[in-house]
Structure 1
């Protein structure tokens, strides 16, 4: 089985026609489990979780609209999972838990895009990398990976090493290996799966998430995986999946996790 659980409608509309374009592409790519996981910050109901000038300008939807879209999809016989990608926000665990509990998500993705006020993957903030200590940014980013895992709020962590997106990487290998070890141990002690994401192949780093060494550590500690493209347009659904499958197999994986109405099932990787 192949999954694509990390996809976004934000460049289009919350309509059946636009959703159908994603589903059609998934079918063409042989994706058997497909889900939409819109960014939580787009919804007015998440203002108490994450609020800053960048995200507040992009708060477009209500959760009622989102849930209604999936109800309509079900009526029309469309096979699609409803999810959300939530920015993990330290100090907002109660608010995140309440939001997750309030809606019938098939699964929930937790991701880290902000280190304090620094949007690490945003083009608008790219020059900040030149002003900051790269190792310190990585340490703070991985601190959040640990606490995200410990929260046990999320089924999947998105793009585990997104922090490398602009090719800023500490040249201290021992530091990186130690960080990889501590975050994989935290993941192993949680319910959180790791996604193999081909999105990085479309970004400046031109590499998948996570790094092969990091993924091998996940496998050795029995951290489950899902496959994701992080598509923001229909054409990118299932993007370069053969490479994702190859990376999974090279790391030693033979299975992946699927989700339905909050329940998980391990299936063979094909």
Structure 2
């Protein structure tokens, strides 16, 4: 057995220690073996490029079912570049979500997962790496809902106009009735009764026809002088023209003079008065419309001339009146008419109220005074308190409901309340001046009246019915 030389033993130990790597040397070698950042970035960029190409190729398919194609792409990239990330994702349950993340957003996360961990801290790096990689990878591998079919937009397509129900002229008019808001009128004044005793003219006539028209109202014929001539033949002392007054806001313009024709009206009546001076009294009056809301207009109109007589006219047949008040049943409409009749008397604007039951010509086949009697009773009570007179209009015999306005039953109710009564023919042509006056006077007597009236200078003149009947007969004989 040979002995080792001491020097050789020391040399061998020195050589062995030189060949064994130290801690620093091992670290350097490990650093040499570890890929550099540029290399890692390059290797990470490679799958990103592949992902873009794959995404571009699969783009048409992704529009139809983007959720089904996205998971394989992300899964393949993760398996190739980051094995620890794959294990961490598979081992952890992920909550399902409704929408998948776009492929372009998932690719940058795959880039982070592709970086290889350091060998010295493999276990410690794997856990945080899986956490970072798993969070963005959830939408890619989670189950998703099936894509809904794409419905083409119709916003650019032409659309048919919405059908609009056609409305009648009456309905249209109801939606926009004429309403005038005006300041209050002056308090009503009590009617004035003349103390002057009426005197018959040369022919013995005493009475007046207090209602007739001129061509200015657009539905009458004949000049004022022609009406005056007929007045003489009818045994009258005088006549009073009461043409339909002008109204504002286009109120029923087809049956009345315009505001610009008012002075003409005053002029032609005066012309006839001059022509018949000493033979027949020709007086200026006005059938002045009553329509709620226009009271101030009417009050000012009455100041524009020296009138002998103002006759209040309430006309249910005007389009404006129908548009505003023709609602509900026929009887309710008639009740509204009588209510306005009372209001016209209470306004203090008129000397007398024309054809007070004219509304019976509204659906005349259904007129029944008994149905409306309670309303009329209340209205007449209100009118009686004002002292305003009411008219017996003989032209009612020429209307669709052939009866004077008012009828005999209403006349009796008026007589019971001692409401003054005036007679008017409402002539729209000369031949009707004084028409049916003998019949009208007899109706008054039968209804309980003893006196009949007319107006001059806005003052009421009362005559005995018996005297009037005698004067008419005498004047007719003298003028024939």
The answer, yes or no, to whether TM exceeds 0.5 is yes
Please state how far the C-alpha of 1:178 moved relative to its aligned partner: 0.9
The equivalent position to 1:250 in structure 2, one of 439, 446, 460, is: 446
SS at match of 1:62: helix
- The answer on 1:2 being equivalent to 2:207 is yes
Per the alignment, residue 232 of structure 2 pairs with 27
Structure 1: tracts of 5 or more residues without a match: none
Higher relative contact order, structure no. (Cα contacts within 8 Å, ≥ 6 residues apart): 1
Residue pair 1:115, 1:141 contacting (<8 A) in 2 also: no
Q: 1:110 aligns with which of 302, 312, 321?
A: 312
Equivalents in 2 of 1:263, 1:59: separation in Å? 26
Separation in structure 2 between the aligned mates of residue 71 and residue 172 of structure 1, nearest angstrom? 41
2:356 and 2:406 in contact (8 A); partners too: yes
Residues 1:211 and 1:268: Cα distance change in structure 2 (over 3 Å)? same
In the alignment, structure 1 residue 158 sits paired with structure 2 residue 354: yes
Instruction: Report the Cα distance in structure 1 between the residues aligned to 2:217 and 2:341, rounded to whole angstroms.
Output: 30
Q: 5+ residue gaps in structure 2?
A: 1-205, 469-480
Paired with 1:172 and 1:199, the residues of 2 have a C-alpha distance of 19
Q: Is it true that 1:79 corresponds to 2:277 in the alignment? A: no
Whether 2:381 is the aligned partner of 1:185: answer yes
Q: Offset of 1:191 from its aligned partner?
A: 3.2
SS at match of 1:210: coil
Query: Which position in structure 1 is the counterpart of 2:391?
Result: 195
Query: Structure 1's 58 and 160: CA in aligned 2 closer, same or farther, altered over 3 A?
Result: closer
Q: Which has the larger radius of gyration?
A: 2
Rounded Cα–Cα distance in structure 2 between residues aligned with 1:132 and 1:59: 32
2:230/2:433 contact within 8 Å kept: yes
Match in the other structure for 1:47:
248
Distance in 2, matches of 1:65 and 1:101, equals: 16
**Residue 64 (structure 1) aligned with residue 263 (structure 2):** yes
| SS of alignment partner, residue 302 of structure 2 | helix
Q: Within 1, Cα distance between the matches of 2:320 and 2:293?
A: 17
The 2-side partners of 1:151 and 1:12 are apart by 25
- What's the counterpart of residue 95 of structure 1? 297
Q: Give the structure-2-normalised TM-score.
A: 0.49
Secondary structure at the counterpart of residue 189 of structure 1: helix
Return closer, same or farther for 1:151/1:261 CA change in 2, 3 Å cut-off.
same
Higher helix fraction (1 or 2): 2
Q: CA deviation at 1:118?
A: 5.6
Aligned residues: 252
Distance 1:236 1:112, change over 3 A: same
CA displacement at 1:59 relative to structure 2 = 4.3
Of Structure 1 and Structure 2, the greater strand share is in 1
- Cα distance in 2 for partners of 1:172, 1:25 equals 35
Return the alpha-carbon distance in structure 2 between the equivalents of residues 193 and 187 of structure 1: 8
Name the SS for the 2:215 alignment partner. coil
* CA distance, structure 1, for counterparts of residue 413 and residue 369 of structure 2: 18
